[in-house]
Structures are given as C-alpha cells and as structure tokens.
Chain A
Amino acid sequence: MTLSGLDIFKLLPKTNCGDCGVPTCMAFAMKLAQKKAELSACPHASEEAKATLGAASEPPIRLVKIGGANALEVGNETVMFRHEKTFVHPTGIAVELRTSDGQAKNLEKIRDVENLTVERVGEALHSDLFFITQDSDNPEDFVHTVEATKQNSRKGIILNCGDNKALEKGLQLLKDDRPAIFLKSRLSEEVIELAKAHEASLILTAQSFEDLGAQSNAAKEAGINNLILNLNSENLGYQMQNNAILRRSALKQSFKSFGHPLFSYTKGENSHGILAHASMQICKYGSIIVLPEYDKAMLYTLFTLRQNIYTDPQKPIQVEPKIYPIGEPTPESPVFVTTNFSLTYFMVSGEIENSGISAHLVITDCEGQSVLTAWAAGKFVGEKIAKFIKDIKLEEQVKTRKIVIPGLVSQISGDLEENLPGWEVIVGCQEASDIPSFVKNVQLT
C-alpha cells in the first residue's frame, strides 16, 4: 500500500523543528512519499508513525533467507509475468533426507547432492537446501541426520520433525545457520517459541486460504515475520491456481498475510510426474521445491529450467568469448566466427556439429547481442573482430587463413579482410539451420 504525502504528514510531529534536515514536516512528508528520504532521519517520530510507514515501505513479498554464510534468498518478487520486468530470486531446490532411509544412505545422499555442480552458459548450477524428514521410530535419528548434514554440507536446512524435543535439538545444532521449520500441521505455541528462540523461519501448511491467512497473522503477531507458505493440495491444477491467487493478492492487493514466498513438496506417480510437478512450480511462483530423491538428470533439467525462467529478459544470457572446439578440430579445420549471444552460440555450434565436420568456432564479445543487433551497435564489425582474433592468437592455433562470417553481415567482409591481413573472409549462410548444406557446398579451408 502506498501512502500519500498528506497521509504521512498526519503521522509526523508537525513541529517543523528541522532536525531531519528539511525545514518543515510537510516538506519532509513529501520527500518520504517520493521515497527520497527515510523516516529514521526524524528523531521525534512516534512508534505509530514508524509502524505505519514501515509497513507501507515493505516489499510486497518478503525476502526470506535460509542457511548460514551462503544463505538462499527467496521472495522479494514484484511481477506476475517475467516479461513485465524479471523474476528476482530463483526457486530454491531442496533434496529430502528421510531418517527411515538410515544413516549410511543419507550420508551418501548428502555427499552426492553437495558435490553436484553443473556448469551451463558460465553459471555454476547446484541445489540449495536439504529437507530433513523424521519418519523413523526413534527421534534421535533426526538429530543424527541434522548433524551429518551440517558436517558434510554448507547448504541451508529445513527441519520436518513432529517431535518437538528432537526438533529443538536439531535447532540447537544449527545455531547461526538460519534454518527453517516445516510444519505439517497447524502452528502451535510451542513451535512459535522454538522458532523465536532459534531465529528460524517457519513454513506454514494449510488446506484453505482462510486458514493460511490466520496462521500467517498469528505468527506475525507473535513476532515471526520470516514465513513461507504451503497451501496444500494434491492436485496440480489447484496448486497452480493457488499460487496465482496468492501471488496476485500479495502484489496487487498488498495482502500482507500472503506476502511471502511459496513452498511445495513435489509429488508424482513416478519420477517423471515429480519432474512435471517441479517444472510447473518453477514456472509459476514456487519459491522452494522439495524433491524426494537425488536424481542427477532431474536436477540438471530443473537447474536449466530455473536458469531460463529466472533470466532477466532485459539482459541476454552470454557465453564466454573464446575459441570453442566443435567436434575434434585439428589446426587444419575451418574457422567460423559469431557473437556471444547464448542462443546464437547454441544454434551455430549445434548446426556445425550436425553437419558432421569439426571446426573452430570463434565467439567474440558482443555483450550478449545477436548478430544483427551487435553489428548495428558497432560491436560485431571488422575492426573489433580482427582485434579479438589477434588478442586470442588464433593464427598460432590454426593453419587455415579462411574465416566464415554470418551471412547476415556480409557487408563487413571487406572491412574484416582489411583489418586482418593474410585472411580470406567467406560469407556464410544467413540461418544457422543452413550450415549443414553450406559446409557441403563451399570450400572452407
């Protein structure tokens, strides 16, 4: 909710003391409304003013952190659709550890998850959290699992334990690690106290909007603001509707009870169903998803989807400018050059690969722009390409003195030849998909 200057003025002391650096309270109120000043500048502000203004300046969806030094941050989202601006904090991916699986199996799982990092377009992709579930007879198993996780991993931890004594022991082990407590049933006084004492976030579970709102309000009244919401439904269609409704209420109606990140434990009849469920949650507003198993192919798929959906639409994904070997090139293999827009790179490298030949693909730095855009902006022109080729010492790595440029920028060929003495420029095809036939019909080296 936004407050007008006049709304704010009514909350100020109206003494025009000038201690805030602005001559009158009215002028200060106007600055506050425009977010050009902060209320803390006024030493005489009342508690009421602080509370009201504080609430109005809070982000519509609260930022929640889970974990110690490398804490996962979720929330703070401001749009319904990524094209409106961007999604900010990528979905946190948690892998579940169940005490019933036994210590040996869980230890192996912890190490596997901890060690899995996959690189894609220059980003290191990995999971973020462990979700520890107490489902064996002995509550001590839970404490041991938390301990093993803490010893072998630096990822954040969500605790799912029905036994409050074991939960408390787990929380004690995670001092300074900002854990989260997952509540399977309704919020209780006891859990509120535990969360407060150990500075843990709470993941609230409810079956209806009303109950979820009531629990959210109760937790806030007790002083816990780091909340994550789990509006439970077995049906994926309801989940998607619930997520849309919660997000919309928070963003468009400033409905504070629902202004928190969303949680989902992924379920499915088999691993494919789980993947389908997780994919939907990543696309539509899930801030934390839990996967029951460690499955590399599934994680890699979800990492990639998350990277795609959370990419800023204003900033294209770039690949590192350098010489990429396609197939198994020798110094005699042909040379292609294009820009470092990730899609351009993927298309061109894929089609060269499909053509069956090996080649050197030179990717120049065009700040992630596509061929025509980069050319229009003067980033993919003869002089710049020639300089890059000299900088990376291409001449020492290949014997050929022919270079293929994208057909869309045939106009730069003369310029490039001038800047690159000794080289012959070949104008390639306009579309990457025509590369396989192009390489068949043209002498490339």
Chain B
Amino acid sequence: MTFEIPKETNAGQVVEVKLGATSEQGGTRSHIITIGGSNTLPFHFFEGRHSNHPIVAMEVFDKLPAKYPEPLLEYYRDVIDSPGDMAKMCVDEYGAEMISVRLEGTHPEKGNKSAEEATDVVKQVLESVRVPLIITGHSHFEKINEVMKKVCEVTAGENCLINYVETDNYKTITAACIAYNHTVVAQTPIDVNLAKQLNILLTDMNFPREKIMMDPLTGTLGYGLEYTYSIMERIRIDGLAGDQMLAFPMLVNPGYETFGVKEARALEQDYPGWGNLEERGIYWETATAMSLLAAGAELLIMYHPKAVETVKKKIVEIYELGQGE
C-alpha cells in the first residue's frame, strides 16, 4: 500500500518575540528567550516549522494570594513572603524558564501597596534570578497604570513582558513600554474580534509588532477551558492563514486559574469521587496546560512544581525529540 501524507502549508507565520535583555542589549539577564515563529499548527512538524518551543514560567507574589491552596504552600512556605527567594527556588529547583512577578497586592482592595513597594519587589526578583521577567498586574486601571509606569521605568532596558493591557486601558502602559523598551501582553476576554481590535489599537500607537503577545484569557479545566481552547485555535488558524493582527504568540495562565477553583482546594473527604487533593491539583493544572499547548499556547505561567516538571518534559518530548521521522 502506498500512502502520501496530506500536507497543508500556510501563508503566514507567528511573530517571533524576544524577551529579556543581556548586558549587550542593556539589561542584566543571562540570556534572552525567543517565543513564536511557527508557520504551522502545534506539533505539525510534518508540514511546517516551530522555530522555538513553548516556554514554562512560574509565578511569585508581592502578597500571598487569598486562594493559595495548602498543597502548594507546602512547597513554598519558607519563601512565599520573599519573592526574590521564591523566584530563585522556582528557577534553580523547579526549572522555571521565566518568572512572573504578580503585583496583585497593589490592588486597592487587595492590599493597596504602593508603586514603590511594587518596584522594590520587582528589583528583588531581578537581583535574585537571571531569567527574563514577566510583570503581571490586575484590572484596577488607575492603580495599575501608576504601578506599571514605575515598574517600566526602574526595569528600563530589561525588556520585561508587561502583563497586561486591555481594550479599556492600554494607552498609559503601552506608552511606558515604548519609552522603556518592554514587551506587552494584549489581554482580551475570549473573543477573536476583540483580540484583533486591541492588536490594531496597539500597532496604531506605532508599538512594534515583534513586541506584542496575546492573552486570550484562560478558563481552566471545567471552568470555560473549551472556550479558551477554541478561541485560541481560531486565532492561530487565522494568524497562520495570513491575518497579521492575529499572528502573535499566546500567553496563558494555567496556574493562577487552576489554583483558584474548588477542585484545587476541596478535600477528598468532602468529595470522595474527586480523589486525592494534591494529585488532583497537579492533574488539573497539567491537563489545562497540555490542552492549551495543543491549542497553540507559547508561554505558560504555572504554579505546581510537579505540573511544571511534567509539562516541561512533554514539551521536550514533543518539540525537541518529535520533529519528524
């Protein structure tokens, strides 16, 4: 029997985005990370190219998150209040390829920390690890604009990934990213057209295309994953088909979303059919991450060391060992 593999090629490709800066580029990172560059669907090595493999980042906090579950705290108890030390642990012991610093504590209703306190946290992390950083904010426009402006300024030259801007609040932060040469995440709520529109707004400000990533908004497993999944597939298919305004690499948050839901916190004694709590959390985050990889995610911010270990192994298996027979 003869069989010819049916191949489909694409006119477009995903924009290649570089994160971080070494001393040569005016930063202090040990290396830069390149994301994107694919001209085919996830895993389709038989008909295209993935220039770079997906990246797994881990997250540290300016304030212990309200919903942080006990099984996770076991790993980080000694360092959770010290973002620099926690970042170092994530990189050295758990293999984080990037660190996200989540500044939720600056939200007026979640601690109302000052912009100065936020920049202190970011500086601590910059000093303790050498990987490129993601700076993750929140949706209180006034406060996050003030915080991000300051953070962009003190990290000038580091090419951080500033996470995120949204349609109703993008100008201030994007301008700060232009002024201090950072990369930005454009976040929109699970909708292809809204995603496209925000990217147009950003490029209309003359923000460089190769400095944009998209966050389609992650719904974790059981909480809207199927919406995120299909929106990502549609964005990627359109981007590869040549729609320049949808051809950006995608960032997702399996960690933050998973460890906020009941399945990551409820005890087995209360839900016997759900099985062991710690394993359930690891499985939940891993399944979310794997399915989002299948849908086209290029950068995943994750929480559980064992989920990180598993997903990183699978990325190596798929992207480094599995590149065609």
Contact yes or no, A235 B294, CB < 8 A: no
B interface residues, Cβ below 8 angstroms from A: 1-3, 5-6, 8, 41-46, 66-67, 109, 139, 219, 221-227, 229-230, 233-234, 237, 260-263, 272-277, 279-280, 282-284, 286-287, 290-291, 294-295, 306-307, 309-311, 313-314, 317-319, 321-325
Q: How far is the CA of A117 from the CA of B273 in the complex (A)?
A: 7
Chain A interface size, as a band, is: 35 or more
- Say yes or no: is A70 at the interface (Cβ < 8 Å to chain B): no
Contact yes or no, B279 A295, CB < 8 A: yes
Interface centre among B225, B282, B290 (most CB of A within 10 A): B290
With A210-B3, A245-B6 given, can you name 16 additional A-B contacts, CB distance below 8 Å? A83-B230, A83-B233, A120-B222, A210-B1, A235-B317, A238-B325, A241-B45, A241-B322, A249-B3, A255-B3, A276-B290, A295-B279, A298-B275, A298-B279, A305-B225, A347-B223
- Say yes or no: is A107 at the interface (Cβ < 8 Å to chain B): no
Shortest beta-carbon contacts, A-B, top 4 = A237-B322, A297-B275, A296-B275, A237-B318
Say what secondary structure dominates the interface of chain A. helix
Chain B contacts for A214, CB-based, 8 A: 1
Chain B contacts for A346, CB-based, 8 A: 222-224, 261
**A–B pairs, 17, beta carbons within 8 Å:** A81-B234, A81-B237, A82-B229, A209-B3, A214-B1, A235-B318, A237-B318, A237-B319, A241-B324, A272-B282, A276-B310, A284-B43, A296-B273, A297-B283, A300-B263, A301-B284, A354-B67
Chain A contacts for B227, CB-based, 8 A: 343
A-B contact count (CB 8 A): 177
Contact yes or no, A237 B280, CB < 8 A: no
- Say yes or no: is A333 at the interface (Cβ < 8 Å to chain B): no
Contact A279 B322, CB 8 Å, known A213-B3, A217-B1, A273-B310: no
Contact yes or no, B280 A300, CB < 8 A: yes
- The 8 A CB mask of A303-337 against B (1 = contact, 0 = none) is 01101110101000000000000000000000000
Q: How far is the CA of A180 from the CA of B318 in the complex (A)?
A: 30
- Say yes or no: is A350 at the interface (Cβ < 8 Å to chain B): yes
Chain A contacts for B221, CB-based, 8 A: 301, 304-305, 308
- Say yes or no: is A53 at the interface (Cβ < 8 Å to chain B): no
Chain B contacts for A302, CB-based, 8 A: 287
Contact yes or no, B6 A343, CB < 8 A: no
Q: How far is the CA of A296 from the CA of B280 in the complex (A)?
A: 9
Q: How far is the CA of A370 from the CA of B240 in the complex (A)?
A: 31
Contact yes or no, A350 B46, CB < 8 A: no
Contact A272 B43, CB 8 Å, known A240-B318, A297-B274: no
A interface residues, Cβ below 8 angstroms from B: 81-83, 116-118, 120, 209-210, 213-214, 217, 235-238, 240-241, 244-245, 248-249, 252-253, 255, 257, 269, 271-273, 275-277, 279-280, 282-284, 295-302, 304-305, 307-309, 311, 313, 343, 346-347, 350, 353-354, 433, 436-437, 440
Contact yes or no, B283 A275, CB < 8 A: yes
Contact yes or no, B5 A245, CB < 8 A: yes
Partner of B286 from the list A272, A300, A309 (CB cut-off 8 Å) is A272
Contact yes or no, B321 A235, CB < 8 A: yes
Interface centre among A284, A305, A343 (most CB of B within 10 A): A305
Q: How far is the CB of B167 from chain A (nearest CB, A)?
A: 14
Contact yes or no, A238 B280, CB < 8 A: no
Chain A contacts for B295, CB-based, 8 A: 283
Q: How far is the CA of A299 from the CA of B223 in the complex (A)?
A: 17
Contact yes or no, B274 A81, CB < 8 A: no
Contact yes or no, B276 A273, CB < 8 A: no
Contact yes or no, B319 A296, CB < 8 A: no
Chain A contacts for B306, CB-based, 8 A: 272
Q: How far is the CA of A298 from the CA of B313 in the complex (A)?
A: 19
Q: How far is the CB of A94 from chain B (nearest CB, A)?
A: 18
Q: How far is the CA of A302 from the CA of B288 in the complex (A)?
A: 10
Contact yes or no, B273 A300, CB < 8 A: yes
Q: Kindly report which residue of chain A lies nearest to residue B293, judged by CB atoms.
A: A280
Partner of B290 from the list A279, A311, A343 (CB cut-off 8 Å) is A279
Contact A253 B291, CB 8 Å, known A213-B1, A350-B260: no
